[in-house]
Structure 1
Amino acid sequence: MRCVVVLLSLLSLGHSAPLSSCESLFQPIAVSTEEILGRWIYIAASSDIPGSRSLGRLLNSVVLDLTPTGQSSILNILQTQKIKYGSCSSISYNVTFENNTMIIEEPFFLKEVYLQTECSDCLVAYEEIIAGKDSFASLLLFSRSRTVSPVALELLKKQAECLRMPSPIMTDPNTDMCPGDIPHSDGINALNSLLANKMGHRVARLLDSVFDLFGW
């Protein structure tokens, strides 16, 4: 994502489905600092961030490395991604992690909580992002390995359906991944520029529609 992967939060009314059919899928689970640290491989996502669906189809791989910073409740995320037919890039940013929740407060607000999954080494994150007057939501699946079970993927699709979000876009587990020694830039500023670019949103949504229409 230049991002996003960026990350998740409480269900917003606009995305929620009837509680009778979906409530059990969205009970946040407890995730300790020890459990969230380490290397996570991006597997699939559904998001309404403009351009996210186009980008999802262009990604070869995304890897997140979460490490402590020495400051209480502050973690560092080093995110490395490779675009199809392109080169690798890497961004770094700090987040607050406490009470089973990941938060970024500035220059935009992001809240991420974690949902149930059928995969023992997976993490399903639901994010809510507020940038100015705009709000976005993302549902993301990460794993310690490059592949996950069909059962885990089906549950993710059901969660997206309950949220009235598009079907998640999966990455190809057979594509190349980046080495771990790439120079990185400040990811927070890069993501904030993307979220704040209103004109870019229009173009990105158009690209998303084209990608969805032709299934690229």
Structure 2
Amino acid sequence: MMMEVVYVAVAALSLLSVGQSAPVTSCETLIQPVVIQGRDQLLGKWIYIAESTTFPGSRLLTDRFLESGWGKTTAANESDAINHYQVQKMFGRCFSVRTKLTLQNSTLYMVKPYSSAVTLLNTGCFDCLVFHSRFTLGGSTYIGLQLLSRRSGVSVAEKEEFIKQVECLNLPAAAFMDPEKGLCPDDSLAEESETTDLSSAIEDMSSKVLSVLGDIANSEGGMETLIKQISRGRA
């Protein structure tokens, strides 16, 4: 049960997650929202490169348990909605989550497994998206920033630009994924898959689990204690 909570928690927290050819340098430019002309620019496969959030212990969870991740966005039946299929590698295993988001006035809204609003920020990375999110867990609101790319790795300059964006927004230091650990395969259309689908688990457990997770995260030393217990359980 404890490991299922961890899988769901890490997967849920990372749900949140194309411009010029030269790096952007000023904070004023780096935190400038980008107008989303339509959902087409969001469609396709995206590799998770890095993220930063004000959620306590988020970097510890990412650094300790999340090896790599990618997502595939497709058009939903509704003209203002998109479907997101996300796959993460944790503990050498693959886990997937399916969610649905609605696009309104250049903002992506998600209701389940938790409430969030996501906008795009300016970036000099030619094939990247930078998601700036505001999400609510357990009655508390947090801010997040996530870098996604069509590539499995970005340049040093592109990493530095994202780090600068994090600093401009006064967010905690970013956690970077490790592309050398490989990406999970795309089993979204396969009849049989080695990828474990967590969508139902998140749907059933999200309210209670994420509320408890929020309480743990906001308690002094809560996340460190939880991670130590999990690590001992896997030893």
Calculate the TM-score normalised by the size of structure 1. Answer: 0.80
Q: Which residue of 2 aligns with 1:14?
A: none
Cα gap change, 1:144/1:46 in structure 2, threshold over 3 Å: closer, same or farther? same
- 1:88-127 alignment runs, 5 A limit: 88-106=94-112, 108-127=114-133
Give the share of equivalent positions with the same residue, in percent. Answer: 31
Is the Cα–Cα contact under 8 Å of residues 138 and 215 in structure 2 kept in the other structure?
no
Q: Which residue of 1 aligns with 2:3?
A: none
130-139 or 114-123, larger mean C-alpha shift:
130-139
- Partner Cα separation in structure 1 for residue 106 and residue 222 of structure 2: 32
- Partner Cα separation in structure 2 for residue 189 and residue 40 of structure 1: 27
Letter in 1 for 2:79: S
Instruction: Report Cα offsets for 1:168-200 as digits up to 9, x if no partner.
Output: 111112112111113523245555544311443
Pick one of 197, 212, 222 that aligns with 1:184: 197
Letter in 2 for 1:29: V
Deviation at 1:109, TM superposition (A): 2.0
- Partner Cα separation in structure 2 for residue 33 and residue 207 of structure 1: 41
- Partner Cα separation in structure 2 for residue 107 and residue 172 of structure 1: 26
Gap regions ≥5 residues in structure 2: 1-9, 18-25, 188-194, 229-235
136-145 or 24-33, larger mean C-alpha shift:
24-33
The structure with more helix, counted as a fraction of residues: 2
- Partner Cα separation in structure 2 for residue 54 and residue 26 of structure 1: 25
Cα gap change, 1:51/1:125 in structure 2, threshold over 3 Å: closer, same or farther? same
Letter in 1 for 2:154: V
Letter in 1 for 2:14: V
1:22 aligns with 2:37: no
Letter in 2 for 1:148: V
Q: Which residue of 1 aligns with 2:14?
A: 5
- 1:92-171 alignment runs, 5 A limit: 92-106=98-112, 108-171=114-177
| SS class of match (1:118) | coil
The 4+ residue runs of structure 1 with deviation greater than 3 A are 105-108, 187-195, 202-205, 207-210
Deviation at 1:148, TM superposition (A): 0.8
Cα gap change, 1:133/1:63 in structure 2, threshold over 3 Å: closer, same or farther? same
| SS class of match (1:140) | strand
- Partner Cα separation in structure 2 for residue 87 and residue 171 of structure 1: 15
Q: Which residue of 2 aligns with 1:173?
A: 179
Q: Which residue of 2 aligns with 1:200?
A: 216
Deviation at 1:3, TM superposition (A): 2.8
Cα gap change, 1:60/1:28 in structure 2, threshold over 3 Å: closer, same or farther? same
Cα gap change, 1:55/1:38 in structure 2, threshold over 3 Å: closer, same or farther? same
- Partner Cα separation in structure 2 for residue 157 and residue 129 of structure 1: 21
Cα gap change, 1:4/1:172 in structure 2, threshold over 3 Å: closer, same or farther? same
Cα gap change, 1:152/1:52 in structure 2, threshold over 3 Å: closer, same or farther? same
